[in-house]
């Protein structure tokens, strides 16, 4: 709970009950969930929660830099509590999004000199077939 509150406060987000629950879900589930997944998971415990609230909360989290918005999958927007620069891999077969370990070519936004343009987000998207799906195919 502490870490969730800290994350919200660090990014100047007022910690309402629903915001805490959504941020906590994101931090606990590093599977890059969608609005629908988060709504389905949280609505039994928060009956007053609406899908719009989930969407708007994720928008605030992302705008304030407390979470990342991923558009790697054109059918679903996904969210990530990991705000360090890292690459994503979308498996075209199972649809899962994986984190790829960062190599030196992945820079922090501050490290990039864009001739006066302020870089706020960098996305590295890779698509293909994941290890698990490749193995299943072979067997
Ligand atoms: Zn796969
Ligand atoms: Zn990620």
Identify which ligand lies nearest to the alpha carbon of 102.
Answer: 2
Is this model's pTM higher than 0.85 or not?
A: yes
Residue 44 Cα to ligand 2 middle (Å): 26
Distance from the alpha carbon of residue 79 to the mean position of ligand 1, in angstroms: 19
Do 58 and 100 fall into the same domain? no
Based on the number of CB atoms within 10 Å of its own CB, is 128 exposed (0-12), middle (13-18) or buried (19 or more)? exposed
* Structure confidence by residue, pLDDT tens digits, 75-112: 999 999 999 888 999 999 999 999 987 666 666 777 77
Helix boundaries (H) for 1-139: 2-10, 17-28, 35-42, 51-63, 131-138
Domain residues for the domain of 97 are 84-138
Q: Which of 31-40, 58-67, 114-123 has the lowest mean pLDDT?
A: 114-123
Q: For position 61, which CATH number holds? A: 1.10.10.10
CATH code (residue 117) = 3.30.1490.190
Token output for 90 = 């979308």
């Amino acid at each position: 709970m502490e870490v969730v509150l800290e994350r919200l406060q660090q990014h100047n987000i007022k910690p309402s009950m629903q915001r805490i629950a959504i941020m906590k879900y994101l931090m606990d589930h590093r599977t890059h969930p969608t609005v629908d997944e988060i709504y389905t998971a949280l609505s039994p415990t928060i009956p007053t929660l609406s899908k719009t609230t989930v969407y708007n909360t994720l928008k605030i989290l992302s705008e304030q830099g407390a979470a990342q918005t991923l558009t790697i999958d054109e059918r679903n927007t996904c969210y990530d509590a990991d705000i360090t620069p890292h690459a994503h891999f979308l498996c075209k077969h199972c649809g899962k999004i994986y984190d790829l370990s960062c190599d030196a070519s992945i820079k922090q936004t501050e490290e990039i000199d864009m001739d006066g343009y302020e870089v706020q987000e960098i996305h590295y998207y890779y698509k293909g077939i994941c290890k698990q799906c490749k193995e299943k195919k072979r067997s």
